[in-house]
Amino acid sequence: MIVVTGAAGFIGSCLVSRLNKAGYNNIIVVDDFSKTEKNGNLEGKTIGAKVGRNDFISWLEGFGREIDFIYHIGARTDTTEFDKSIFDELNVTYSKSIWKACVKYKIPLVYASSAATYGLGELGYGDDHEIVPRLKPLNPYGDSKNNFDIWALEQTEIPPFWAGLKFFNVYGPNEYHKKRMASVIYHAFNQIENTGGMKLFRSHNPDYPDGGQLRDFVYVKDVVEVCLFLMASPPASGIYNLGSGKARTFKDLTVNTFMAMGVKQNISFIDTPEDIRDKYQYYTQAEMSKLIGAGFDKQFHSLEEGVTDYVRNYLAEHKYY
C-alpha cells in the first residue's frame, strides 16, 4: 500500500499515474477533494481508496502498519500568499504529524520541499545540509518549507528512510487547476492561443535583460521518475535537489512554446506585479551531483523536449497524464 498526499494536485496526480504504469494499484490518495477543479487529474487512474486531508492523520492510526511507502507531496504552494499561519498549519505542523507516524509505523517517507528555500541564492543552490539553517527564503511559503527541512534534520527519531525533495520550477501536464501559480508554459500556451502573443515580466534587475531571467525548469515526468527511484533504490536519507541542473531563460521557454504550437514568435513585456517584485528570484539552478551520486542515472528532458511533449501531447488536446 502506497500513500500519495496532494494526489489530486499537479505533481501528486502525475506520480499516481507513474505508479500505475509501474504496476502499483493499491494507492491511497489523500487530498482536499472538495476542490472539484482538480477532479480530472485522477480520472482513469487506479487507486485503492480516497482519504480526505483532514482525516488522514487519524486514518493512519488504523492502517499505518499496512503502508509500505508515503509520498507527502501535498502542500500549500501559493508564493503570493503572505498569511504565515496557513503555511505553518499545512506545510509544517501537518508534515510533522506525518513524519511522526512514519517513525511509529516504520514507513519510508519522501516529502516535497522547494527551491523557494534558497531565496536569492546568496548561499548558492547546493543541497548540503549544513547551509539549510542559514537560508533566507523570500516568502512565507519558502519559510515554511525551510522550517520543516530544519526540523527534519534535527530529529533523532526518523523513518527507516526519508528524503526531502527541493523541487525547482516544475512544469507539465495536470496543472490546469493551478491558475496564477501554473507554469509559464501553461500561461504562454493559453495567451498564444487566445491572442497570438505572449507577455513576459520585464526585468527590474539591471543584471538581466527582459526575458533573460533564469530558472531551472524541470519536467514533471522527470520528477516522478526520481520519486520512483527513491522507493526502489533508497540512498542515504536527507535533502536532495530536484531540478534539471540547467538554468534557462523565460524567453527560451516561451520561444519553444511558440515553436511547439507552430505559431510565429510574438513576445512583449509587462512590469512584474509589485506584490511579488521584491520577492522575485532572477536565477535558480539546481546542483544535482548529490542525487546523481546516489545512483539516479536517467537523462532528464531538455527544455525543448519537455515543452514540445507538454504542448503537443497534453495542452493542445487538453489531456491529462
The catalytic residues are 141, 178
300, 218 contact by CB (below 8 A)? yes
Amino acid residing at 243: G
Taking Cα atoms as reference points, which of 119, 116, 117, 70 lies closest to residue 95?
A: 70
- Supply φ then ψ for residue 220, to 5 degrees: -60, -30
Q: 288 — alpha (psi -120 to 50), left (phi > 0) or beta?
A: alpha
258, 197 contact by CB (below 8 A)? no
Q: Tell me the β-bridge partners of 269.
A: 200
Amino acid residing at 47: I
Rounded CA-CA distance 225/18 in Å is: 8
Which residues fall within 8 angstroms of residue 45, CB to CB, at 6 or more apart? 13, 16, 17, 20, 27
Taking Cα atoms as reference points, which of 22, 5, 13, 10 lies closest to residue 229?
A: 22
